[in-house]
Amino acid sequence: MALLAADLKEGTKTVHADAERSKFIKYFFKGEISPATYGRFLISLYQVYTALEKALDAHKDNENLALLYFPVELSRKAALEEDLEFFNGPEWRDMLNPVSPAQKAYIAAIERCSNTKPELLIAHSYVRYLGDLSGGQMLSKKLQKYNDLPEGKGVAFYEFPLIEDLDDFKNQYRKRLNQVEVDEETHQQIVEESCQAFVRNIDIFQEFDHELEGLPLTKKEKEALEAAQAEQAAHSGFLANLAPSNLINSIASAVGLKSSA
Ligand code: HEM
């Protein structure tokens, strides 16, 4: 049986490339994701990490999962809460409902693994955390560059203050992956579940695609938007101080003026 770290990297190569090619990621790299859209993307991440970290905590005594259990170094929930408040204001918890279809599917996948075969949570841990420690670092730079963020604000999600050297940590994580002891069938299932986890992430990205198109607005829609903007500004989040051009589109979809195709 080949080593798990190598099999995961090889087995997810194609779907990783698909994720990199997502419209959302392309726009992210061009600095065309508005703070409002990013604020709602953080909500999706929060739903995923809440489910993931709850499941990992529940199985921390499982010998294989314990190898990859780094709650202090890796847990993202608290960091996400910081960024959520920054981008969405103090009332961000009101945005957790309704849970979107892609969020639901991702949470269901994590819960299914947790309830049926906890070793498959290795896949979910691998896809999110190694991703955050890799491509996530590039996303952080783009986010800061294009949004002119105040020093150290809004990027807590990408920061791992308790990890001294990210590359070294990733290598240690890969070594731990190779120490996982499962039968051949489970080994293959972990690789397959990782591919599925990438698809779940792509589906989350796709839920924002329609916000990335500029749609012409009618007079009535414009008036509703202005009212919504005024309401947004009343919140004390980061948005109150920003008025990027695509904010209009983001608010349009937030108030349901644009289809959620
Ligand atoms: C912005 C687009 C992305 C870029 C530019 C990117 C870039 C990279 C790079 C350069 C690596 C290699 C890092 C290393 O070995 O040290 C990597 C690894 C990885 N990325 Fe991405 N990535 C992107 C999106 C994603 C997404 C959306 C996910 C999943 C949600 C993801 C998950 C992973 C994982 C799990 C690895 C570890 C691969 C391994 O070594 O086994 N990436 N990424």
Q: Given this structure, which CATH class describes domain 4-215?
A: mainly alpha
**Residue 235 labelled as part of a binding site:** no
What's the CA gap between 196 and 193, in Å, rounded? 5
Tokens read off for 196: 């599925």
pLDDT value, residue 214: 57
Cα separation of the two ends of the chain:
43
Residue of 41, 110, 134 best suited for mutating to test ligand 1, as the one with most atoms within 8 Å of CB: 134
Residue of 16, 49, 143 best suited for mutating to test ligand 1, as the one with most atoms within 8 Å of CB: 16
> pLDDT tens string for the chain (261 positions)?
689 999 999 999 999 999 999 999 999 998 899 999 999 999 999 999 999 999 999 999 999 999 999 999 999 999 999 999 999 999 999 999 999 999 999 999 999 999 999 999 999 999 999 999 999 999 999 999 898 888 879 999 999 999 999 999 999 999 999 999 999 999 999 999 999 999 999 999 999 999 887 534 455 555 666 676 677 666 655 554 443 434 444 444 544 444 433
How far is CA 248 from its chain centroid? 23
256: left (phi over 0), alpha (psi -120 to 50) or beta: left
Query: For residue 161, is the peptide bond before it cis, meaning its omega torsion is within 30 degrees of 0?
Result: no
The residues, any chain, with a CB within 8 Å of residue 6's CB and separated by 6 or more, are none
Residue among 130, 132, 136, 111 nearest 176 (CA): 130
pLDDT value, residue 217: 47
| Shortest-distance Cα residue to atom 34 of ligand 1 | 131
pLDDT value, residue 235: 61
Nearest 10 degrees: Cα torsion 84, 213, 225, 232? 10
Handedness of CA 111, 198, 85, 161 (dihedral sign): positive
**Residue 187 labelled as part of a binding site:** no
